[in-house]
Structure 1
Amino acid sequence: MSSLRPGSVCDTTPLQRFESQSSSGEEPSSPTAASIIAAAAAAAAASSATPTSTSNPHNLNNNNNVKLDLQLPTFVGSSGPGLGSGLVTGPGSIVPGKRPLRGPKKILGRILLDLCMLSCVGLPMLGFSLWGEPFKRGFFCNDTSLKHPYKHSTIRSWMLYLMCGALPVVLIILVEFFRGQDKRLHGTYKSQKTRTGSGYHLCHLELPYWLLECYRKIGIFIFGLGVEQLTANIAKYAIGRLRPHFFTLCQPVLWDGSNCSHPMNAGRYIEEFTCGAADMNAKRIKDMSLSFPSGHASFAFYAMLYTAIYLQRRMHWPRLRMVQHFVQFLLLTFAWYTALTRISDYKHHCSDVLAGAGIGITYAIIVTSTMW
């Protein structure tokens, strides 16, 4: 009976070829199920064919201990047993535990996409402002709801933009910044919300997660504001309701040269007229027909209600609970006061303010419904 050299059978098996390639530095091919089965069968055959010699018991022991050492490839960005994971902290570097970072191209692409969405809302609003003409609605000369005096707005436009535009943005930035510094909030939410890094890097520095949250919350706020204002403008130009100070500001002159002081025009519905006031211009004439709904009321209620809901869902500090509620009260009070001044300043009718407030409240609830 001829003796077999140890390993003479296994040298030609797929497993031995795979291990010899790994030891020699060559690129081993990925092991398949067929190659693993063939390697195991060859190892069993080799152990059964080896003589059980008592003179050298070490040979038997060495042949029976077949080592299956399969080095599976590492996949970047995955996790689990045998599957590596990595985080790119800089160009070309990988650290186990997190996903690869997204660079300036990803940041620019996301910003451009968001700007395209905003332009879908902003461009129609710009078109209404530059070239839009409201529906030309007539009037009755004895309509007392159009004979109120002209007054300047109590809440000027710059005040509205400051309180309903800049203030919410500042509050969002402050809350998100302090949330990012508060370690007590870490681990109380889902994993994607407890990271300190945003997954985006700029100039080899990873942007903080709180900055990404600021971008998200402010972006949603601005988009909802644009949609709300576009909805109000569509109604303004489609209805063309006259403002309460129409007679005072316009002093209408009828097509036959008469005016509303003539008795024959008392019960007539007038559609053909021109404004006889000396200081009238195209912008004022256009603005007189944009009473319904109230843009100030919709703007104020949307911005203030959005900010109040945001504080309720993101400001999680028990010691500041009363401060939070007080700020919410001030915000909603400003929206309420703005709506009331539009009536007392004779800029809108009561139904105009109610419709505007309803539009603002509706959109604020919609855009914050998925906020966490």
Structure 2
Amino acid sequence: MDSESKYLLKKVVIDVLCLCTVGFPILFFYLFGKPFKRGFFCDDESLKHPFKESTVPSAALYVVGLFLPICSMMLIEFIHVRASNGQAARVFLGRPIHPWLWNCYKVIGVFGFGVASSHLITDIVKYSIGRLRPHFFDVCRPLVDCNDASNKQLYIEHFQCNSTNMQLLKEMRLSFPSGHSSFSAFTMVYFAMYLQARMTWRGSELLRPFVQFVSLLLSIGTAVSRVSDYKHHWSDVLAGFTNGTISAIITAVFVSDLFARRNGGLAVATEIETEPSSQYRDSGNNHII
């Protein structure tokens, strides 16, 4: 195995290990996590909203949040490679790797790591706090006589729910922060920043800001729907949206190589890696995406 293949293999293995280290705890929380059991007050009006189905189901959230950015990234990187000159193929395990595949690996890999990191932060806080959702009473129907005057101002910690839906009983304790808001904020804010760095097509002055606007609008609409669907309190949504936005900015600026600091500003970064392969860089043409 030549030196370049060894370098790339080491790089890929470390990247995969890092991604798995962040991803496996998310799966653990989903399968085995037990939220902190927080109590309630009988006169807490914020917990007495009706249960409603989500306007933005989880399946739609993940499909749009992942499909739209990843497909766009693959298309834009393909156009960059076609329009650039001098991008040499990498050699991995004796076989050449097309520059487009390598670029997609880097861009999508960082995006996936950021999504997983933001999701893990949300899960850690969710399960540690165990805040009750606005539809708590409707889902749980606690076996407590809230009409009893002695229970009106009493903080009730030990109670049983008159429900057998274990999934809903678990989810009712995972209100803070909003996972939908955090995920949609990260994916769409990061996507908007990616477009700012890589989409430089001169054919239209408004296409890029239009796509960025639609992306952010989808994110904001998802966050607002969580309040109107009584899935979260407004503070849950604000915290989730803030977490996703900050995580996206940190990932785009400090983790990815989308931007490089030049003269105190942000500019499109050329790939600079100290590795045993031939270095290459984009042609810098501004007339391409």
TM-score range, shorter chain: 0.7 to 0.9
Whole-angstrom distance in 2 between the partners of 1:346 and 1:301: 19
Whole-angstrom distance in 2 between the partners of 1:150 and 1:101: 59
Out of 111, 129, 144, the position equivalent to 2:30 is: 129
Out of 147, 166, 177, the position equivalent to 1:261 is: 147
Shift of 1:209: 2.0
1:171 maps to 72
1:305 maps to 189
Q: Which one-letter code corresponds to 2:153 in the other structure?
A: G
2:119 maps to 229
Whole-angstrom distance in 2 between the partners of 1:291 and 1:167: 27
Greater Cα radius of gyration, structure 1 or 2: 1
SS of the residue 1:289 aligns to: coil
For normalisation by structure 1, the TM-score amounts to: 0.66
Whole-angstrom distance in 2 between the partners of 1:169 and 1:152: 28
1:270 maps to 156
1:29 maps to none
Out of 206, 209, 214, the position equivalent to 1:322 is: 206
1:243 maps to 133
Does structure 2 conserve the Cα–Cα contact (< 8 Å) formed by 1:101 and 1:200? Answer: no
2:264 maps to none
Shift of 1:335: 0.1
Q: Which is worse superposed, 305-314 or 208-217?
A: 208-217
Shift of 1:289: 0.4
In the TM superposition, what are the counterparts of 1:44-59 in structure 2 within 5 Å? none
How large is the Cα RMSD of the aligned pairs? 1.8
Q: Which one-letter code corresponds to 2:52 in the other structure?
A: K
Shift of 1:339: 0.1
Change (3 A) 1:156 1:229: same
In the TM superposition, what are the counterparts of 1:197-236 in structure 2 within 5 Å? 197-201=88-92, 204=95, 206-236=96-126
Whole-angstrom distance in 2 between the partners of 1:217 and 1:342: 30
Out of 123, 141, 148, the position equivalent to 2:42 is: 141
1:287 maps to 171
Does structure 1 conserve the Cα–Cα contact (< 8 Å) formed by 2:48 and 2:138? Answer: yes
Out of 233, 239, 245, the position equivalent to 1:361 is: 245
Shift of 1:107: 4.4
Whole-angstrom distance in 2 between the partners of 1:285 and 1:222: 30
For normalisation by structure 2, the TM-score amounts to: 0.84
Does structure 1 conserve the Cα–Cα contact (< 8 Å) formed by 2:184 and 2:222? Answer: yes
2:52 maps to 151
Percent identity reads 44
Q: Which one-letter code corresponds to 2:4 in the other structure?
A: R
**Stretches of structure 1 lacking an aligned partner (at least 5 in a row):** 1-90, 92-99, 187-194
Q: Which one-letter code corresponds to 2:140 in the other structure?
A: C
Q: Which one-letter code corresponds to 1:310 in the other structure?
A: Y
Aligned length: 256
Shift of 1:210: 2.6
Whole-angstrom distance in 2 between the partners of 1:343 and 1:291: 11
**Larger RCO, structure (CA 8 Å, separation 6 or more):** 2
